[in-house]
A and B are shown apart, each in its own frame.
Chain A
Amino acid sequence: DVKVTQSSRYLVKRTGEKVFLECVQDMDHENMFWYRQDPGLGLRLIYFSYDVKMKEKGDIPEGYSVSREKKERFSLILESASTNQTSMYLCASSFRRTGYGYGYTFGSGTRLTVV
């Protein structure tokens, strides 16, 4: 069964900490994505990557960075966590770009609380 695995289901961090959210997919997918989901705001794209060592900004990249050193792993980094980054973080991957008719496979999400 193909999977996208996010390292933590729940995470509590302190303001100012550097936070790493890890995502691994076992499907040899080219593309990987990080979204955050907040009540009333839906899913918003933070960063995405179409290839190893490549990254593109999404709609809300401020306060975040990413790393993709290997095809299967895409890490989201909160350089200095703030309370307004408390959210559900969702990682997704796709075989090819969605315009070619491919859907996303999502991980189970990481609910991050910054205190």
Chain B
Amino acid sequence: SQQGEEDPQALSIQEGENATMNCSYKTSINNLQWYRQNSGRGLVHLILIRSNEREKHSGRLRVTLDTSKKSSSLLITASRAADTASYFCARAMGYSTLTFGKGTMLLVSP
């Protein structure tokens, strides 16, 4: 399957800094979604951006989508220790299932 990649694999920052994670994919999409996973738990849906949207905000989260480059970015502003988690992008291709990447591990230190 065309999974695409998240970049970086791991990111370590200080509280208060911004965190940026990137997601690339290979085939056209209907929408792209971002999920968070705290250690050893299930995934939590954060935000969805449709293929005809370029930017979306939700609280401290900002997602961009560039369909010409087949890439998306998730920005978390003013990070907190509680943001420490793994973040996954997931592509919806057609009307089928989601395809997840391998994730970015974010560590936010106090």
A residues sitting closer than 8 Å to B (CB atoms) are 4, 33, 35, 40-43, 45, 48, 58-59, 88, 90, 92, 97-101, 103-109, 111
Task: Take A98-B98, A104-B98, A109-B42 as given contacts and tell me if A42 and B88 are in contact as well, using a CB distance cutoff of 8 Å.
Answer: yes
B residues sitting closer than 8 Å to A (CB atoms) are 1, 3, 30-31, 33, 35, 40-45, 48, 50, 88, 90, 92-103
Bound Cα distance A92, B33 (Å):
14
Task: Take A40-B102, A98-B92, A101-B31 as given contacts and tell me if A33 and B41 are in contact as well, using a CB distance cutoff of 8 Å.
Answer: no
Bound Cα distance A38, B44 (Å):
18
A-B contact pairs, 6 of them (CB 8 A): A41-B102, A48-B97, A98-B30, A99-B94, A100-B95, A103-B48
Q: Is the CB of A103 within 8 A of B96?
A: no
